[in-house]
Structure 1
């Protein structure tokens, strides 16, 4: 099993989420996040003064999936979320040792 964290632009989330659901990747957690990296942030006017914000707003999708789903999920995200400009995001893949569904006590793949 693998845990996948996908950090993408807000405007790309609905399309990516829909396609992931269609391919059988369910149980997705979504979080609003802010971060900075190579992006320069943005400038916004506030009460007549220009303010520079270093952080950029993104959405993080997290899911635990079967090993064989990782490749197709990465491809979906690359196809739908990539603009070719800085700030497209990142995909992180981690090994998962154990999953337990608290309600039923199911473990491993059955708990997904």
Structure 2
């Protein structure tokens, strides 16, 4: 099994959710996140004052899937999250040794 984690722009959540739902993915975890990449934040001018934001608001999406489904999930997230502009985000895939469903005690793919 794999954990696919994506850091995306918040306004792209609906597009990513729809792309994952089209694959049959119904379970995911969404968290608010802040950070920066190469751009190292942004600045905004309000009135005559410039405010520098070092951390940009993002969303973190985590999806647990079988090994065979992981490449399709990555493609769906990339297509849903892409704007073509700097800061579109990152996706990383990690191995997952085991999953347990608390309510039923199921393990592995049955727990998904």
| TM superposition score normalised by structure 1 | 0.91
**How far 1:19 moved relative to its partner?**
1.7
Q: Secondary structure at the match of 1:102?
A: coil
Aligned to 1:51: 51
TM-score, normalising length: structure 2: 0.91
Cα distance, 1:108 vs structure 2: 0.5
**SS of 2:31 mapped into structure 1:** strand
Task: Give the direction of change, closer, same or farther, for the CA distance of 1:47–1:85 in structure 2 (3 Å limit).
Answer: closer
Q: What is the aligned partner in structure 2 of residue 93 from structure 1?
A: 93
Task: Find the aligned partners of 1:80 and 1:103 in 2 and give their Cα distance.
Answer: 32
Where structure 2 has 5 or more consecutive residues not aligned to the other structure, the ranges are none
Over residues 61-99 of structure 1, what are the superposed CA-to-partner deviations in whole Å (9 max), with x where a residue is unaligned?
001101111111111122221222210100010000000
> Match of 1:57, SS?
strand
User: 1:4-61: CA deviations, max 9, x gaps?
Assistant: 1011111111111012012111210001100012024222346852210111111110
Superposed structure 1 runs of 4+ greater than 4 Å apart? 45-48
The range that moved more, 99-108 or 76-85, is 76-85
What is the RMSD of the two structures over their aligned residues, measured on CA atoms? 1.5
Q: Partners in 2 of 1:83 and 1:35 — Cα distance? A: 18
Aligned counterparts of 2:83 and 2:54: Cα–Cα separation in 1: 21
Q: How many residues align?
A: 112
